[in-house]
C-alpha cells in the first residue's frame, strides 16, 4: 500500500478517537502513526541501505518491532494510564497487515530467518513519481483525506462524498479494472488487489458510520433543544 492509503485509513480511525476524546489532534496522531514504519524504513531502505536492500521495508516492518512496541504500550498503559503508545502499536500493526508482511516472512520475522531479501535498487525520482501519480487509488485516497480535514474543520457534511468514493474504489478493485490508463493499484497481484478492496470497503464503512452517528446525535440534540 502507498502513503495516502495508509494515511487515509489512519485518519478515519483518528476521527473516531477524536469523537471519543474530544481532541481533534487525534486525527493527525493516528494518521502519522499509520505511516510510522514508512517514515523510518523508507529513508533507511532507499538512501542508507539502497545498494544492499533496494527497498523500504526493514526494521519497523518486522514482527519483532511490533511485539516490542505492543509490550511498551501495555507497560505505559498499566503504570502511567496513557494509551498513546498502545495506539501507535495498533496502527503499526495495521500498517503491517495492509502491507501483507507475512508474504515476505524473511523480512517480517527478521532477524530470525536471516538477512532480508535483496532487490535491485530503484531510481527514486522516476519510480516514486510514477507509482504515486499513476495510481488512481492514491488520488482517491488523497481526495478523501482532504475531505476528512474539512470534516475536522466542522464541515462534516462532506464525509458522504468520501464514503462514496471509497465504495466505488472498492467495487472497482473487486471488478479487477486493470485496463485503465492510470493503474488502479500499484501492484497487480491478486493478494494486493484483495487487500486493497478490503481497505477501501473498510474506509467506506468507517466514514459512513461516523457520518451516521453524527447525524443521529444531531437529530437527538435538536429534538431535546426544541422541547
Per-residue pLDDT reduced to its tens digit, 128-181: 666 666 778 888 999 999 999 999 988 888 999 999 999 998 888 877 655 554
pLDDT of residue 210: 92
pLDDT of residue 52: 59
In-domain check, residue 8: no
At 104, give phi and psi (nearest 5°): -120, 75
**Average pLDDT over every residue of 54-60:** 77
Residues 145 and 93 in one domain: no
Q: Does a structural domain hold residue 160? A: yes
Q: Give the CA distances from residue 215 to residues 16, 69, 108, 209, in Å, rounded to whole numbers and listed in that order.
A: 14, 37, 42, 10
pLDDT at 88: 93
Task: Name the domain count of the chain.
Answer: 2
More confident residue, 54 or 89: 89
In whole angstroms, give the CA distance from residue 172 to residue 151. 26
Under 8 Å CB-to-CB from 207, ≥6 apart: which residues? 12, 15, 144, 159, 160, 162, 163, 166
Whether omega before 82 lies within 30 degrees of 0, making that bond cis, reads no
The residue from 122, 156, 174 where one domain ends is 122
The pTM score is 0.85
Residues 132 and 200 in one domain: yes
Q: Which domain holds residue 66?
A: 35-122
Amino acid at each position: 500500500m502507498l502513503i495516502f492509503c495508509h494515511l487515509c485509513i489512519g485518519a478515519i480511525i483518528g476521527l473516531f478517537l477524536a469523537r471519543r476524546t474530544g481532541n481533534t489532534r487525534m486525527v493527525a496522531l493516528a494518521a502519522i502513526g499509520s505511516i510510522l514504519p514508512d517514515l523510518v524504513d523508507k529513508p533507511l531502505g532507499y538512501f542508507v541501505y539502497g545498494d544492499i536492500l533496494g527497498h523500504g521495508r526493514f526494521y519497523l516492518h518486522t514482527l519483532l518491532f511490533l511485539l516490542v512496541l505492543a509490550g511498551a504500550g501495555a507497560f505505559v498503559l498499566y503504570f502511567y494510564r496513557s494509551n498513546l503508545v498502545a495506539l501507535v502499536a495498533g496502527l503499526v500493526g495495521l500498517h503491517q497487515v495492509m502491507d501483507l508482511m507475512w508474504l515476505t516472512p524473511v523480512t517480517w520475522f527478521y532477524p530470525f530467518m536471516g538477512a532480508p531479501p535483496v532487490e535491485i535498487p530503484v531510481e527514486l525520482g522516476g519510480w516514486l513519481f510514477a507509482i504515486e501519480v499513476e495510481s488512481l487509488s492514491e488520488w482517491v485516497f488523497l481526495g478523501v483525506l482532504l475531505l476528512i480535514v474539512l470534516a475536522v474543520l466542522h464541515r462534516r457534511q462532506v464525509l458522504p462524498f468520501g464514503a462514496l468514493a471509497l465504495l466505488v474504489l472498492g467495487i472497482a478493485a473487486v471488478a479487477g479494472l486493470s485496463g485503465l490508463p492510470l493503474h488502479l493499484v500499484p501492484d497487480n497481484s491478486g493478494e494486493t488487489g484483495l487487500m486493497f478492496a478490503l481497505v477501501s470497503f473498510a474506509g467506506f464503512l468507517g466514514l459512513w458510520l461516523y457520518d451516521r452517528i453524527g447525524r443521529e446525535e444531531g437529530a437527538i440534540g435538536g429534538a431535546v433543544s426544541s422541547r
